[in-house]
Amino acid sequence: MAVSRVVEERPAPSELLGTEPRRQHVLDLDDFSAAEIEQTLETADAMAEVLGRQIRKVPTLRGRTIVTLFYEPSTRTRASFEQAGKILSADVINLTSSESSSRKGESLVDTARTLEAMGADIIVLRHSMSGAPYLVARHTSISVINAGDGWHAHPTQALLDLHTIKQRFKRIQGLKVVIVGDILHSRVARSNVWGLRTMGADVTLCGPPTLLPTDVLEAFGKAPGGLAIETDLDTALDGADVVMALRIQHERQTAGLLPSVREYIRCYQVNEERMGRAKETALVMHPGPMNDGVEISHGLAHGARSLVESQVTNGVAVRMALLYMLASPGVES
Amino acid sequence: MREKVIMTADEIRRALVRVAHEVAERNRGGQDLLFVGIRTRGVPIARRLASYISDFEGIEPPTGSLDIGLYRDDVTSGVNPVLRQTDIPGNVNGKRVVLVDDVLFTGRSLRAAMDAVMDFGRPAQIQLAVLVDRGHRELPVRADYVGKNIPTSRSEEVRVRLRETDGEDLVAILEQGAE
Amino acid sequence: MSASLLIRGGRIVDPANGIDAVGDLLVRDGRVAAVDTSGGLNAPEGTPELDARGLVVAPGFVDLHCHLREPGFEEKETIATGTRAAARGGFTTVCCMPNTHPAIDTRATVEFILGQARAEGAVRVLPVGAVTIERAGRELVDMSELAEAGVVAFSDDGMPVADAHLMRSALALSRVLGLPVMDHCEDQSLARGVMHEGRVATALGLGGNPAAAEDTMVARDIFLAELTGGHVHIAHLSTKGAVDLVRQAKERGLAVTAEVTPHHLTLTDETIAGRKGLDGGRHDGLAAGNAYDSNAKVNPPLRSQDHVDALVAGLRNGVIDAIATDHAPHTVVDKLCEFDLAEFGISGFETALGNVLALVHDGRIGLPALVERLTWGPARIIDVGRTGIGTLGVGAPGDVVLFDLDQEWVVDAESFASKGKNTPLDGRRLKGQVVATVVGGSVAHAARDTVMAHGR
């Protein structure tokens, strides 16, 4: 017998839907909420299953065109996006340009508009100048994924770092993460500061005073996780769960920011001995490419405490998750 | 808003036990059987079917879960899509795969689910078990096992609630603008 | 008869003569003939009239610092378009900087500019000569010849005079000529970035220029002014440290003056961040508003609020003598590019008044003081012949601006008379607008037909 009853109005619950408004661009992590990061990592987990299949191909992005537009050399990030796109059945076009730093040649906006006219759905942009992805996002209607812009942001790297940390520690909240090196010129550091603190980790930035940016504590706003600055590496490493070493560029020496690489190693190289100050369970990361034996010791980089290989593996899954988020046909709401 | 209850917890249990018997009967007592629940509510239904079969056959067929997000062709929604884990135990080659879903409607989810299963290998058969068939097919898809056929109008909404996901067992039709 | 005009019923604000009262103003044969705030003036039959009731009537504004781009960069601006933009902004005298091509480093170029201004200019144009040949910072220009040709000051604007010895010589020589040296104060070895060094630059990952890069150069120039007795004028002051240094220099009686731009008085480096979520948690996922807006890229850079507050205080208490626009028009292509590659500069004539009147509306400076910084303040610095520009004294040039203190309007860069549409204020609502600009008794710009009353 049929019974009737009064119920409150609510949408049909579905695990297939996120709760965050549909995103058009991935420009930085400063506009990702904790929930959205959580959902991205969860989707990346599901993508890892696809990567484990015998035939690594799903039809999700059939007919979609992804252009990787790289104005800066990069092997791993570009290859990682290309692989992610191809596994999802997208058409991937790779463009590289070395004309980025000059005003000669076609302007970035013109190039992007051309790609738009050709029907590109997503531009994955790597550029040596901060803010370039915002310019493309503003002047075209294509989705833009920032694959690293100047010193500003590298959100997909930070997401894969978060994914790697979560995989190992089962949480991010409450961890102490120390980022060591050239913070001033590091887009990886900036994006990780946003991502880690949003997820509740406490971040310490450590490096020589000439390579720490001005007003760091004021620059990154309020977040659940803390932020600290430390110029002494041993003090910074005290009680650390994760230590992230950044690549040190030799140009910093000629720019008058560092006395010498030798001096940098003496003060800031992350090595086995210094890791004694961190927790016993502490692990090390590096966004690559590494100067083996400079910012990180060889033994540590390739030893049991290193997450460097997991970072590379997770890169593809995280980028698949982002492409899926931006370009998939989606599900009925 | 009002909803009209179509199946109570008892009716759901009886329907699924019957379906479990039909599945076992048609598949030599459950040999080579693999239940694959379509997320979200197909998964607990698949587990229940496997458990009922184990009650009367003594062996519990393996159960997997499938997110069809990577295979869908539906319209874009206003929120970020999130993909959940797909977990297909073992090898599907030569298996009799029983896809399980809560409601069979247009058939589009089933089309996506079949494509997904095929990507894992070459099953001997794919069968389909649903708790509710409400009609209005848009693709040539039919269920092998149906808990209950419910004639509906296209605009009505069928809600299935299960203990595992919603805290209660219930199938109801939402009555738009009821007195 | 042309060049005569009666302006009736406005609030006459003439700081040089201590006047702030409702009254009539008569211009005859291009010069101020009478100001009456007691009962009403009679003009000769047929004199055109402007109805200024409800409007402020002030001396035409004097801009010490703008870029008219001609000769050499006519795609950005010309003397014709630039002076029309100036007239729309209420300016009747503008000093154009020598970073043209060729630079204003010869008599010929000075004469070319003055000729163009006579032929096509809507307002008075006073050229600023370069300090060094081609502004290259190596050899001094022929300063007395340029002075004779008509430059009112010397500057290598855009570039500081980096060599202290050369700057010393320039000050010593210009002292004899009675002209100031205007310096763009920036230690370029310290200023390698593209915006103010601080929290916003850190968050955006853009190279920063510390305030100290300006402070150190201002300090040097002040000591050189003391050493030579020359008059140094600090262009576009932008730091609290520089305000302090200028205050101390003035207290010591040195010939040091300073200007500030409308944008440095009202905008901070946050403008460059746009709506990007510097405070975290924002979720638009779109293009983050106008983050990295190259129209806000200017040199010296927009600085943080503490600097802005110090500049406003310095303007109020007279440490800063003048508001100068640093009007720097650029083409769309110059700005439609990566922030690092974009040209520096803001097209400033047509928003200057509405922009700085915010300070009056917010009670941070009085109207007479603000008008003074736009008129008599700058005029004193360059008007060596004392022609009377910047005042409404009888006999002064009939240069007058009429503005509505309270008219609200929305900036539409596309409608600018200037070729440069580059402004971070596009789309913003401003309060206060120029209604008419009069140069030598002739109307150079009138925004409303209603002000043009018929002569009787």
ipTM for the complex shown = 0.92
Nearest CA in chain A to C291: A134
Nearest CA in chain C to A111: C337
Give C291's contacts in chain A (Cβ within 8 Å).
Answer: 131, 134
Distance from CA of C209 to the nearest CA of A (A): 11
Q: What is the DSSP string of C133-157?
A: GGG-SSSB--HHHHHHHT---EE-T
Tell me how many residue pairs between chain A and chain C have CB atoms under 8 A apart.
123
CATH 3.90.1150.10 fits A4-10+155-312, yes or no: no
The residue written with tokens 């190596």 in the block is C138
Candidates B80, B105, B179, partner chain A, best to mutate (most A CBs within 10 A): B80
Residue B14 is predicted with a pLDDT of: 97
**C338 and A31: CB-CB below 8 Å?**
no
Instruction: Kindly indicate the confidence band of residue C283, based on its pLDDT and cuts at 50, 70 and 90.
Output: very low
Domain membership flag for residue B51: yes
- Tell me the average pLDDT of chain C: 94
**A30 and C278: CB-CB below 8 Å?**
yes
Distance CA A272, CA A276 (A): 7
Facing A108 at nearest CB: one of C200, C280, C337: C337
The residue written with tokens 């042309």 in the block is C2
pLDDT tens digits for C90-137?
999 999 999 999 999 999 999 999 999 999 999 999 999 999 999 999
Token duo for residue B71 = 């295979």
Residue C305: pLDDT above 60? yes
Query: What are the residue numbers of the active site of C?
Result: 326
Residue A199 is predicted with a pLDDT of: 97
* Residue range C202-215: mean pLDDT, rounded: 97
Q: Does A23 touch chain C (CB under 8 A)?
A: yes
The answer for residues whose C-beta is within 8 angstroms of residue C251's C-beta and 6 or more apart is none
Residue A14: pLDDT above 80? no
End-to-end CA distance of chain A: 31
Token duo for residue A99 = 């004309």
Calculate ∠ Cα A70-A76-A82, nearest 5°. 65
Residue C288 is predicted with a pLDDT of: 52
Q: Does B76 touch chain A (CB under 8 A)?
A: yes
Q: Are strands A91-96 and A65-70 parallel, antiparallel or unpaired?
A: parallel
**A216 and C202: CB-CB below 8 Å?**
yes
CB of C97 within 8 A of CB of C157?
Answer: yes
Side-by-side strand order, sheet with A143-149: A91-96, A65-70, A122-127, A143-149
**C203 and A151: CB-CB below 8 Å?**
no
pLDDT tens digits for B19-60?
999 999 999 877 899 999 999 899 999 999 999 999 999 999
Amino acid at C183: D
pLDDT tens digits for A38-92?
999 999 999 999 999 988 999 999 999 999 999 998 888 999 999 999 999 999 9
Distance from CA of B59 to the nearest CA of A (A): 28
Residue C401 is predicted with a pLDDT of: 98
pLDDT tens digits for C348-407?
999 999 999 999 999 999 999 999 999 999 999 997 677 899 999 999 999 999 999 999
* Residue range C14-25: mean pLDDT, rounded: 97
Residue C387 is predicted with a pLDDT of: 87
Candidates A215, A257, A325, partner chain C, best to mutate (most C CBs within 10 A): A215
Nearest CA in chain A to B173: A4
Distance CA C116, CA C98 (A): 15
Give B83's contacts in chain A (Cβ within 8 Å).
Answer: 42-43, 46-47, 321, 324
CB of B125 within 8 A of CB of B23?
Answer: no
| Cβ atoms within 10 Å of C370's Cβ, excluding its own | 23
* SS3 call for A151: coil
Comparing CA positions, the residue from A332, A320, A331 lying closest to residue A64 is A320
pLDDT tens digits for A181-215?
999 999 999 999 999 999 999 999 999 999 999 99
Domain membership flag for residue B159: no
Between helix C305-316 and helix C367-374 the angle, nearest 10°, is 90
- What's domain A34-153+314-327's architecture? 3-Layer(aba) Sandwich (3.40)
Distance CA A152, CA A94 (A): 23
Residue C282: pLDDT above 50? no
Q: Are strands C56-59 and C400-410 parallel, antiparallel or unpaired?
A: antiparallel
**A7 and B3: CB-CB below 8 Å?**
yes
**C281 and A131: CB-CB below 8 Å?**
no
Domain membership flag for residue B17: yes
pLDDT tens digits for A208-227?
999 999 999 999 888 899 99
Residue A179: pLDDT above 50? yes
% of chain C at pLDDT higher than 70: 94
**Higher pLDDT pick, A102 / C119:** C119
Give A7's contacts in chain B (Cβ within 8 Å).
Answer: 1-3
Domain map (residue ranges) of chain A: 4-10+155-312, 34-153+314-327
Domains: count for chain B: 1
Residue C2 is predicted with a pLDDT of: 55
Domain membership flag for residue B27: yes
- Rounded to the nearest angstrom, the gap between the alpha carbon of residue B101 and the centroid of all alpha carbons in its chain is 1
Residue C450 is predicted with a pLDDT of: 62
Q: Tally DSSP H helices, then E strands, for chain C.
A: 14, 19
Amino acid at A296: I
Q: Name the superfamily (CATH) of residues C59-393+406-431.
A: Metal-dependent hydrolases (3.20.20.140)
Domain carrying residue B43 = 9-73+82-154
CB of A287 within 8 A of CB of A190?
Answer: no
Instruction: Kindly indicate the confidence band of residue A102, based on its pLDDT and cuts at 50, 70 and 90.
Output: very low
* Residue range C62-72: mean pLDDT, rounded: 98
Burial letters for A46-77: b for 16+ Cβ neighbours within 10 Å, e otherwise? bbbbbbeeeeeebbbbeebbbbbbbbbebeeb
The residue written with tokens 């070319």 in the block is C112
Among A251-255, C195-199, C339-343, C386-390, name the one with the lowest average pLDDT.
A251-255
Amino acid at C341: L
Interface partners of chain A (CB pairs < 8 Å, 3 or more) are B, C
Instruction: Kindly indicate the confidence band of residue B2, based on its pLDDT and cuts at 50, 70 and 90.
Output: confident
Give A46's contacts in chain B (Cβ within 8 Å).
Answer: 67, 69, 83-86
CB of A161 within 8 A of CB of A195?
Answer: yes
- Read off the pTM: 0.92
Give B82's contacts in chain A (Cβ within 8 Å).
Answer: 15-18, 39, 42-43
pLDDT tens digits for C154-166?
999 999 999 999 9
| Cβ atoms within 10 Å of A298's Cβ, excluding its own | 12
Nearest CA in chain A to C340: A129
CB of A326 within 8 A of CB of A20?
Answer: no
CATH number at residue B52: 3.40.50.2020
